[in-house]
């Protein structure tokens, strides 16, 4: 329930759509392009882009 995308969710944390810059499996690190958070802020959850929920004008998928 706390990880839903609903605007009526019980937690006030931000929800942002961002691009994935890199994935480092060795260190279990995911690098993100611009995100509206302070540097070093923890990312609590990652969800895939969902066309019916997210509103990105021209989404793209890396090669």
pLDDT, tens digit (0-9, with 9 covering 90-100), for 15-56: 777 888 899 999 988 888 888 788 877 777 787 877 776 777
pLDDT computed for residue 4 by the predictor: 64
Structure tokens belonging to residue 41: 């802020």
pLDDT computed for residue 26 by the predictor: 96
pLDDT computed for residue 3 by the predictor: 59
pLDDT computed for residue 14 by the predictor: 65
Domain ranges of the chain: 1-55
pLDDT computed for residue 27 by the predictor: 93
Nearest to 4 by CA among 59, 40, 50: 50
> Confidence class of residue 5 from pLDDT cuts 50, 70 and 90?
low
């Amino acid at each position: 329930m706390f990880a839903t995308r609903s605007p009526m969710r019980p937690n006030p944390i931000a929800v942002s759509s961002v691009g994935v810059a890199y994935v480092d499996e060795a260190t279990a690190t995911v690098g993100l392009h611009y995100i509206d958070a302070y540097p070093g802020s923890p990312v609590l959850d990652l969800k895939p882009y969902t066309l019916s929920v997210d509103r990105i004008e021209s989404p793209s998928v890396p090669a």
